[in-house]
Amino acid sequence: MALEQQLEDLKQQFEELLENNDMLEIRQFLDDQNISDVAELVYEYPEYESSIIANMSIHRASGVFRILDFGTQKRIIQTLPAAKTAELLNELPADDRTSFLEELPSSVVRELIKLLEPEERKVTLSLLGYPENSLGRLMTPDYVYVYEHNTVAEVLNVIRRVGKNSETIDVIYVINEKGELLDDIRIREFILNDPHTKVSDLMDERVIALNAYEDQEVANEAFKMNNRMALPVVSNSNKLLGIVTIDDVLWVANEEFSEDIQKIGGTEALNQPYLEMPLFRLLQKRVIWLIVLFLGEMLTATAMAYFEDEIAKAVVLALFVPLIISSGGNSGSQASTLIIQAMAMGEISLSDWWRVMRREIISGILLGTVLGLIGFFRIFIWHTISPQVYGDHWAAIGITVGVALVGVVLWGTLCGSMLPMILKRLGADPAVSSAPFVATLVDVTGLIIYFSVAFLTLSGKLL
């Protein structure tokens, strides 16, 4: 509540300054606020978003710009004067600048790169040269490195000289004359040791490094397993190229989470804010999966037609079709979501497939038994109230529904849990085994299970 009131006060002050139109006071006001608060003002007053960035000191404007969403960043760049755009892009950290540029059309990127200073242009082109979604695109070349023959005193001098332009100085990287990474040492080791101590005496060679060509998701797991603010990025020949910081990894994790949620919901990843995406492209993203799922559901009609004679002889069986297929689809969606999330968090791997299957077999039987008993007692209670609905064979119908629910729920949990792992094994994204896809698959097979059970239990009675 206090934060909301603080934001309201901030907005009121900003509006008063806008009314007075005192640009000097506006600039002073914006430079005095927290970067996150200024970002809130940008979102709250989109008509002033470019003015807000333009009227801040360039260092703080860069800090605000880098935490805005891509759609807002794009609008700001489009409306800023060319000189201010050049100043802003040159001030941005190399990794944030690369992350922004890689989302733009190539023609726009070419024009914006012309605004960069020669050294910044060289760094940006180098980062853009790495594969999309690789750690090379995510790393920053601003870090502090020393050599193993340096002394602690020399290291501290290096930090004072170049540390200001570095992304972080929590960890200092040790390289040899070839530029190969030898070790990483926390800065406290240099602060606490004698100035004459050599770097080689502090090395333990237990360095953890990431490859520039690896997928960005690898960094998320590496940071989770190691207590670091930054990790080094090396080439295939172990040359130190840059570092990846934890704030960049958190942004990647958030984007990956959003993409997975969209895929689980049965659509392609949007890759940009919903309201920023052109309607036709949004339809393209959604219609493909809808067509696939629709064609899949057409098999349900085929299955119904195959059992047409059984349905004609025992119309009562059709009453439970929605119950059967929805139970199987729901259990499959549950299992699929749980497994995809566990795989994304690194809780399970492909080698755990048998443990997962064993757990899901037990879970499927138990869940199916619970639903089967509920289904049976529902028929029993309804028969007690209205005996004519199910007739003399109500018990056989109840057993059919109960046993079918056990089979369908068991099959749904197995499909939902195994399909993501199979896709992962084939090199595909497990998230594409979305809940709607699993539900459609289980709908068709669930009908086959239901009517097969009905044929076995009701033969000679209703069939």
Report the b/e string of 15-46 with b at 16+ CB within 10 A: eebeeeeeeeebbebbeebeeebbbebbeeee
Q: In the prediction, which pLDDT does 453 show?
A: 86
- pLDDT category at 2 given cuts 50, 70, 90 is low
Give the CATH number, domain containing residue 172.
3.10.580.10
Full domain range(s) for residue 314: 274-458
Write the DSSP string, 144-158. -EEETT-BHHHHHHH
Do 322 and 440 fall into the same domain?
Answer: yes
Does 235 reside within a domain? Answer: yes
Q: 240-245 and 171-175 as β-strands: parallel, antiparallel, unpaired?
A: unpaired
Q: In the prediction, which pLDDT does 96 show?
A: 85
Residue 315 has pLDDT above 90, yes or no: no
Do 120 and 155 fall into the same domain?
Answer: no
Starting from the edge strand earliest in sequence, which strands make up the sheet with 230-234, in order? 210-211, 230-234, 240-245
pLDDT digits (tens, 9 = 90+) for 408-419: 999 989 988 888
pLDDT digits (tens, 9 = 90+) for 99-136: 888 888 877 887 888 888 888 887 887 888 888 788 88
Do 171 and 103 fall into the same domain?
Answer: no
Does 135 reside within a domain? Answer: no
Do 340 and 445 fall into the same domain?
Answer: yes
Distant-in-sequence, close-in-space partners of 228: CB < 8 Å, separation ≥ 6: 170, 171, 208, 246
| Domain end (from 129, 162, 177) | 129
Please give the structure tokens belonging to residue 240. 């130190």
Do 173 and 282 fall into the same domain?
Answer: no
Into how many domains does the chain fold? 3
Do 443 and 318 fall into the same domain?
Answer: yes
Query: 242 φ, ψ to 5°?
Result: 175, -165
Does 261 reside within a domain? Answer: no
Give the CATH number, domain containing residue 433.
1.10.357.20
pLDDT digits (tens, 9 = 90+) for 262-293: 666 656 666 666 666 677 776 776 777 667 66
Residue 362 has pLDDT above 90, yes or no: yes
